[in-house]
Structure 1
Amino acid sequence: MNFRTVAELVEVAESENLSISEVMIRKEMKDFNKPREEIMRQMAENLDVMEEAIHRGLNEEVASQSGLSGGDAQRIRKYMKEADVLLSGADVLDAVSRSMAVSEINAAMGTIVATPTAGACGILPGCVFTAADRLGSDRETMVRALFVSGAIGYCVANNAFISGAAGGCQAEVGSATAMSAAAVVEMAGGTPSMSAEAVAIALKNMLGLVCDPVAGLVEAPCVKRNAMGGSIAMVAADMAMAGVKSVIPTDEVIGAMFRIGRDMPTSLKETALGGLAATPTGRAEERRIFGKSEK
């Protein structure tokens, strides 16, 4: 069950006639010397935390202390119920609202599961719970989807970055989007190769995304980037299920992300020194929140 790249992961899965989730479950059992029941139970607990965060974000009045985030997930839900939405069907907006709900809970210091980071925590739960509604998935299928995402995150972390400080937001929201796309593909009955294609399609559309948090807080533009990551993940999954393939292989896309992150200036890697954080409004918000004087 050893693998380090996505290509190796797919090779193991397909040569053994296993799903990606099963490969990852067996790897976890071996690496941590725990029985299957314990490994599954721990991941099921993560799923429960995700579900609670979605519920709170969609049903409670949640706002961050800074006032930069809160309530947008509920605005999307209200819009879905009351307006003629531009998208055909509500599935993408379901993923968007759920992704934002969890991200807003994070900004309000609630309990979340980092997937792979707190800044990108909304995308995976948003996609998994939306896909489950659409597909009628049982709980085990949803838990297995988390193992799929973990396997992809493991490959990304081994070959590139998963933190904004190291590689920009492409490393956080980009990785989460790719992980979520792969997870949804397996939920929908896709092959390991299709999951890998979904990773490539999702991630290459996030390349170059900078990490520029206003006032240094994981709120703006982070919450809305979770929303867009959720939508991209769902579209990438559908594209892969349709048989669309990435011209650039998955591991080469991850390698490109690594090189882009390496070359990205420090001002665009979670320092709040550039990008949106350095706009006049961004600086004004920083002064308002932290009481800094005009320079």
Structure 2
Amino acid sequence: MDFKNAKELLDLCNTHNLSISEVMIEREIQLGETTAEIIDRKMSRVLEIMKDAAFLPIQNPVKSMGGLIGGEAEKLSLHHASCKSLCGDLLEKAVTYAMATLETNASMGLIVASPTAGSAGIVPGLLLALQKIYDFSDTQVKKALFNASAIGYLAMRNATVAGAVGGCQAETGIASAMAASAAVELMGGTALQCTYAASTVLMNMLGLVCDPVGGLVEYPCQNRNASGVATALVAAELALSGVTQLIPLDEMIATMYAVGKKIPVELRETALGGCATTPSACEACHMCS
């Protein structure tokens, strides 16, 4: 059940009539020489941590260590409660949970790097929102997380998820691709549609730079998690509606990696360019002359 790329993954799905999550679960069992029960128990812990990170800051806002973010999730929740939301229930909840997770991370709380700390809000943001709106069980959400992990594994094996290597397209971009693929499976889509959604995300986030203010995983990281959730949702909707992708996921992963290596070093997590060097950012973090 091992696979090196998305083509091999889809071949396994088609040959054995399995979903992406089922292939990934079987791969973990075989390569880890473990049992389905142990794998499920570990993923249950992952989901528990994700829920705490996404829900707690809404009721009890926390200030980040750098002081740049804190309380945004509560504001979004109150705005949604006022019935003046522009996004609708699903996206509003997804954005709120994503931003809350970044508050947890930036205040030294416990999160799941999915795939990184700076992009940790996107996968739980979308999946937990889908659970709230459509009443999915924890078992169904855990399967979707295995789907997401398969896409993350492909990115790690064939490219990167590090902002220092590939820019924010490699962090929030891959996280959004993971979330989009997982959402498609959760909503009953095929394995091929999952890869279409992931490919769409990478296409739409291609070239996104990593420019954290003060070198901290706070700002604009939190806002990009919110926009990453929206991008994932759009990509999943396109795939589920039957819109296909000209460029396969493997090619988009390779393209993302190639573009990332061409991004100037100042725009790859060094805080030497982009948002990090604007006058307002320098004043806020007291790190620039």
Q: Where on the TM-score scale, by shorter chain, does this alignment land: which range?
A: over 0.9
Q: Is 1:210 matched with 2:202?
A: no
Contact 1:92–1:231 under 8 Å retained in 2: yes
Contact 1:6–1:155 under 8 Å retained in 2: yes
Question: Where in structure 2 are there 5+ consecutive unaligned residues?
Answer: none
Q: Is 1:184 matched with 2:183?
A: yes
Partner of 1:175: 174
Partner of 1:233: 232
Instruction: For 1:61 and 1:208, locate their aligned partners in 2 and report how far apart those are by CA, in whole Å.
Output: 32
| Counterpart mapping for 1:49-88 below 5 A | 49-87=49-87
Instruction: For 2:16, give the aligned amino acid.
Output: E
Percentage of matched positions with identical amino acids: 43
Partner of 1:242: 241
Shift of 1:71: 0.8
Q: Is 1:96 matched with 2:95?
A: yes
Deviations 1:248-270 (A, max 9, x none): 11111111101100111110000
Instruction: For 2:11 and 2:72, locate their aligned partners in 1 and report how far apart those are by CA, in whole Å.
Output: 42
Instruction: For 2:152, give the aligned amino acid.
Output: G
Instruction: For 1:128 and 1:10, locate their aligned partners in 2 and report how far apart those are by CA, in whole Å.
Output: 22
Instruction: For 1:164, give the aligned amino acid.
Output: G
Instruction: For 2:240 and 2:45, locate their aligned partners in 1 and report how far apart those are by CA, in whole Å.
Output: 29
Partner of 2:158: 159
Partner of 2:120: 121
Instruction: For 2:246 and 2:79, locate their aligned partners in 1 and report how far apart those are by CA, in whole Å.
Output: 37
Instruction: For 1:282 and 1:61, locate their aligned partners in 2 and report how far apart those are by CA, in whole Å.
Output: 22
Shift of 1:32: 1.1
Shift of 1:19: 0.8
Instruction: For 2:169, give the aligned amino acid.
Output: Q
Instruction: For 2:244 and 2:106, locate their aligned partners in 1 and report how far apart those are by CA, in whole Å.
Output: 36
Instruction: For 1:113, give the aligned amino acid.
Output: V
Instruction: For 2:229 and 2:197, locate their aligned partners in 1 and report how far apart those are by CA, in whole Å.
Output: 13
| Counterpart mapping for 1:137-156 below 5 A | 137-156=136-155
Secondary structure in 2 aligned to 1:210?
Answer: coil
Instruction: For 1:242 and 1:119, locate their aligned partners in 2 and report how far apart those are by CA, in whole Å.
Output: 30
Shift of 1:67: 1.6
Contact 1:93–1:231 under 8 Å retained in 2: no
Instruction: For 1:31, give the aligned amino acid.
Output: L
Post-superposition, which runs of at least 4 consecutive aligned residues in structure 1 deviate over 6 A? none
Deviations 1:5-54 (A, max 9, x none): 11211111122100111100010011111111001110110000001111
TM-score by length of 1: 0.95
Instruction: For 1:156 and 1:72, locate their aligned partners in 2 and report how far apart those are by CA, in whole Å.
Output: 30
Instruction: For 1:133, give the aligned amino acid.
Output: K
Secondary structure in 1 aligned to 2:200?
Answer: helix
Partner of 1:13: 13
Instruction: For 1:61 and 1:150, locate their aligned partners in 2 and report how far apart those are by CA, in whole Å.
Output: 29
Secondary structure in 2 aligned to 1:124?
Answer: helix
Deviations 1:108-142 (A, max 9, x none): 11000000000000001111111112222111111
Instruction: For 1:232, give the aligned amino acid.
Output: T
Kindly tell me the number of residue pairs found equivalent between the two proteins: 289
Instruction: For 1:65 and 1:41, locate their aligned partners in 2 and report how far apart those are by CA, in whole Å.
Output: 32
Instruction: For 1:16 and 1:83, locate their aligned partners in 2 and report how far apart those are by CA, in whole Å.
Output: 47
Contact 2:98–2:122 under 8 Å retained in 1: yes
Instruction: For 1:65, give the aligned amino acid.
Output: M
Instruction: For 2:115 and 2:126, locate their aligned partners in 1 and report how far apart those are by CA, in whole Å.
Output: 14
Instruction: For 2:160, give the aligned amino acid.
Output: F
Shift of 1:4: 1.3
Contact 2:266–2:272 under 8 Å retained in 1: yes
Instruction: For 2:4 and 2:73, locate their aligned partners in 1 and report how far apart those are by CA, in whole Å.
Output: 36
Question: Where in structure 1 are there 5+ consecutive unaligned residues?
Answer: none
CA RMSD of aligned residues (A): 1.1
Shift of 1:86: 2.2
Instruction: For 1:182 and 1:30, locate their aligned partners in 2 and report how far apart those are by CA, in whole Å.
Output: 23
Task: Single out whichever of 2-11 and 213-222 deviates more from structure 2.
Answer: 2-11
